[in-house]
Amino acid sequence: MTTRRSSDLALVAAGGGAGALLRLAVDTVAPDTLVPWPTLAINVVGAFVLGVLPALAVVRRSPRVAVTLGPGFLGGFTTVSAWAGQVRELAASGHVATAGAYLAGTLAAGLLAAALGRRLARPREPEEVLR
């Protein structure tokens, strides 16, 4: 089990606060529609960045940067609770098919985005570059 220092917790809290503020800003400027596109975009972008994050040299060199950006900033930016609440609200208001599509679409898009981010950020082996 990893022991966390109190300074790491402060970094996660600071990063989480910044991520939550950015999420609020995106939600505030986005128009209201039946499908909660801002939450979908936030979660997909967050998944992509989480896929890229381990490949960044600064993240690999500094566990403090890693906790600030990963569980901190991206943890505050992305939101499973809002996504789940929005799916429930869509279904409860009679939009069951839309709720199902939003549920499955967000999950699929997030998984694909994380895999794409990881793939794009992966260092190329010399023989792969030559092909």
Residue ranges for the binding site for Na(+)? 75, 78
Tracing tokens 């499908």 back to the chain, one arrives at: 35
Distances (CA, A) of 15 to 18, 47, 93, 96: 5, 16, 35, 35
Q: What are phi and psi of 47, to 5 degrees?
A: -65, -40
What sign does the dihedral 122-124-129-131 (CA atoms) show? negative
Cβ distance 38 to 78 under 8 Å? no
CA 71 to each of CA 45, 78, 128: distance values in angstroms, whole numbers, following the listed order: 15, 10, 32
The 8-class DSSP code of residue 93 comes to T
Extract the annotated binding site: 75, 78
